[in-house]
Amino acid sequence: MRIARFTTGDEPQYGVVTGDVDDLGIPADDTVLVGLAGDPLYVGVQLTDTEVPLSDVRLLAPVLPRSKVVGIGRNYAAHAAEMGGDVPTEPLMFLKPNTSVVGPGDPVFYPRQSHELHYEGELAVVIGRICRDVAPERVADVVYGYTVGNDVTARDLQRGDVQFTRAKGFDSFCPLGPWIETDLDTSDLRVTTHLNGDVVQDGRTKDMVFDVATLVSYVSSVMTLLPGDVILTGTPEGVGPMQVGDEVEVTVAGIGSLTNKVVSRD
């Protein structure tokens, strides 16, 4: 099931994406959204009689984390190598504020404090229930679904600050979308990033150092996870700079594509 958050010009609402979708998660032209009553994370999937063509809506970030976005660093060996770091022996965690979340088509603001802004295309995990100390074999019970993420990073600030908070925490630095896919085998998904139409990242989740179950279990051993929390699972090799005016598109097979444009903060 694909669950979207959208607007037709008024209040945000939720809906189930119906219709044919190809292997990349790209919907057919006649795709419609069937409206839901309330936030399905909290009230479950309650279908209404409302149907809206996908072409008539503006998609929003499919989830607004009430608490946190947890990032995972160097979770692909090739990316660790390109960053000049070792492959970690346990997941390398950091936090992004929930105020960094934006949706499909929203601008990514190039901050005045940085001169080197990078894209990082990733698979994102959405948590569905309050949980702590989840065993890897029980992770499926607490995961609500999956979406596409871009862990936007001010690389020069990351190098200068040593820790990641400022470099990854600016408003608009966590695009998510286009929707949540609730039923997905994440063992071998293709993750690609296009910058102005050119392929700059092309990886597969089978090459992650730590798989989804391991990541969720590990994070939950450190902190309580709440419904709507997001875990970004790391980016494959090929990260690089974006400039004002650039368009970045991240695609995760089986989910869909997330596109955002870089604009000046001024």
Q: Cα(205)–Cα(75) distance, rounded to whole angstroms?
A: 10
Sign of CA dihedral 249, 218, 60, 34: positive
Q: Cα(47)–Cα(117) distance, rounded to whole angstroms?
A: 41
Rg (CA), the chain: 17
Residue ranges and CATH numbers for the domains of the chain are 2-59 (no CATH), 69-264 (3.90.850.10)
In a 13 Å sphere around the CA of 234, the CA atoms on its Cβ side amount to 30
CA distances from 233 to 30, 70, 211, 212 (A): 32, 9, 8, 7
Return the percent helix, strand and coil in the chain, to nearest 5: 20, 40, 40
pLDDT at 19: 84
pLDDT at 13: 97
- Ranges in the chain, pLDDT < 70: 23-25
Write out the two tokens for 108: 């990514």
Count, in order, helices (H) and strands (E) of the chain.
5, 20
pLDDT at 23: 63
